[in-house]
Amino acid sequence: MPATPRSPAVAALRSPGVARLLGLSLVARAPEAVLALLFLLRTRDLGGSYALAGAVSGVAGLGMAAGGPLLGRVIDRVGQSGVLAVTGIVAGAAMVLAALLPGTTPAWALLPFALVAGATQPPIAACLRALLGRIVPDPAVRHAALAVEASVQEITFMVGPLVFISLIAAHDPALGLGVAAVVLLAATLLFAAAPEPRAVAATGTRRTAGAGPMRLGSIRALLAITVGLGVMFGAVELAITAAAEEAGDPGAVGLLLAAYCLGSLVAGLITAHRGPGPGSPERTLLLLVLLCTAGHGLLAVAPNLVLLGLGLVLAGGAIAPLFTVVYSLCGQLAADGTATEAFTWLGSGLYAGAASGAALAGLLVGAASPHAAFAAGALAIGLAGLGVAAFRSVLRPAA
C-alpha cells in the first residue's frame, strides 16, 4: 500500500489529473502573458508609431479583461471543453492572420485582430481553478494545489517573454505572433480534450441579469484585491524599467523582474508544502495584504539596483501566497454554477488594474521618480486591503 504523502503539495500533484492539467494550462497561458507585447512589436514591425503600438497593445489587454467574464459565464452554462476549443481556434486564427498581414498593410489594421485575440483568449486558468474544486475533494490538498498553481504561474511570466519575445519576436515579430498562436492552440485543445474538462456537465441554466457571481459582496471584495494587485503589478513593472534606465543599466530589467518572480515562486511552493495555516482565511488574507503593502513600500526607498533586487525578492514573497488565499476563497464562496465566471472576473480585475497602474506609474515617473511609482503600487494594494478589512465578515466561508 503506497505511503500517504506528508506534504500537501505532493498529495496535490499526485491527485489524478492535477499535474497533467497544470502543465497544459501553463503552456497555454504562456502566449497570453505576452499577447499585448507581441501585438505592440507587430505594430512597430508594420511601421506604426509608438502611440499606435500602445493603442493596439491596449486593445488586446482590454479585450482580455472584457471577454473573460463573458466566456466564464458561457462555460458555467455549457461546459468547458467546447468553449475552450472554439476560443482557442478563434484566438489562434486572429493571431495567425495578424502575423500573415503583408508588410505594406497599414498598422492600424491590427486593431480588430488584437481585439478578437484578446477577447477570445481561452480562460484556461479559471477553468483549472474551477476544476480543482471538483477533482480534489480534500480542502487541505486543494489549497496546496492552488498554491502550486499560483506559484508555478510565475514560470510563465519568465519563460513566455524569454521564448516568444527575446528569442523570436525581437528578431521577427510576425513569427513570434505565429508561434505563440500555434502553442496556444495546441495546448488549449489538449487541455479541452482531457477527461476532466469533458466531465464537467453543462448546467443549461440561463442566468438573468444580476444573477452572476458579482452579486455577492464576497466576490466583489476579492475583485477589489485583484484590482489592487493589478495596479501594483503595472506600477512596479514600469518602475523597475525606469529605475534601471535611471541607473544607466537598462539590461538589468530582466534580472530584476526575475527576482520579483523568484520571490513569489519560492514562497508559494513553501505555502503549498506547509498547507493552510491555522488562522481563518480572511485573517490570513488581510495579513498577506499587509505584508505585500509593506514589502512593496520598501521598494520606494531602495537606493540602488542591488538593494532593489533584494527588495523585489522579499516583496514577491507575499504574492503567490496571497493569490492562493484569494483563489481558495473564491472557490468556496462562489455560488454553485458560477465558479468559472467568478475566477474570470478576478483575472479581469488584474488586467484592468495593471493597465491603470502602468499609466499612473508613467505619470509619476515623468513628474517625480521611479520611487514614486513604487510607492503608488504599495498604496494601491494597501487601499484595497483597507476596503476588504471593513467588510471582512463577507469573506468568512460558511461552516
> What does 92-119 look like in DSSP terms, one character per residue?
HHHHHHHHHS-TTS-GGGHHHHHHHHHH
Give CA–CA dist 174/177, Å, rounded. Answer: 5
Phi, psi of 207 (to 5 degrees): -80, 140
Q: pLDDT class for 210, splitting at 50, 70, 90?
A: low
| Spatial contact of 364 and 378, defined as CB atoms under 8 Å apart | no
C-alpha cell at 146: 492552488
Where does the pLDDT of residue 100 fall: very low under 50, low under 70, confident under 90, or very high at 90 and above? very high
Q: What is the CATH class of 1-145+156-206? A: mainly alpha
pLDDT at site 211: 60
Query: What are the extents of the domains in the chain?
Result: 1-145+156-206, 212-399
For domain 212-399, say whether CATH 1.10.1740.10 is its number.
no
Over residues 360-386, mean pLDDT: 89
DSSP code of 345? Answer: H
133 closest CA partner among 310, 387, 397: 397
pLDDT of residue 1: 41
Cell of 346: 478576478
Q: What is the pLDDT of residue 278?
A: 67
Most confident region among 9-13, 243-247, 315-319 by mean pLDDT: 315-319
N- to C-terminal Cα separation, the chain: 33
**Mean pLDDT throughout 356-384?**
88
How far does CA 133 lie from the centroid of its chain? 19
Q: What angle do CA 73, 325, 375 make, to 5 degrees?
A: 100
Amino acid at site 282: E
What pLDDT does 37 receive?
A: 80
pTM: 0.82
| pLDDT tier for residue 215 given thresholds of 50, 70 and 90 | confident
Q: Are 352 and 267 in contact (CB under 8 A)?
A: no
Residue range 264-268: mean pLDDT, rounded: 87
Quick check: do 1-145+156-206 and 212-399 share a fold? yes
Interval 256-285 mean pLDDT = 82
pLDDT at 205 over 60: no
**Is 246 or 189 the better-scoring residue by pLDDT?**
189
For residues 285 and 380, is the Cβ–Cβ distance under 8 A? no
| Higher-pLDDT residue of 280, 321 | 321
Instruction: Report whether 69 contacts 346 (CB < 8 A).
Output: no
Closest CA to 153 of 341, 387, 323: 323
The model's pLDDT over 31-65, given as tens digits with 9 standing for 90+, comes to 988 888 888 889 888 988 877 887 888 888 888 88
Looking at this protein, which amino acid is placed at residue 318?
Answer: A
Residue bearing the bigger pLDDT, 94 or 385: 94
**pLDDT on residue 335:** 79
pLDDT given for residue 143 in this prediction:
83
Distance CA 35, CA 126 (A): 18
What whole-number percentage of the chain has pLDDT above 70? Answer: 94
pLDDT one-digit tens code per residue, 125-168? 889 988 888 888 888 888 888 888 888 887 887 778 778 877 88
Whole-angstrom distance, CA of residue 285 vs CA of residue 299: 22
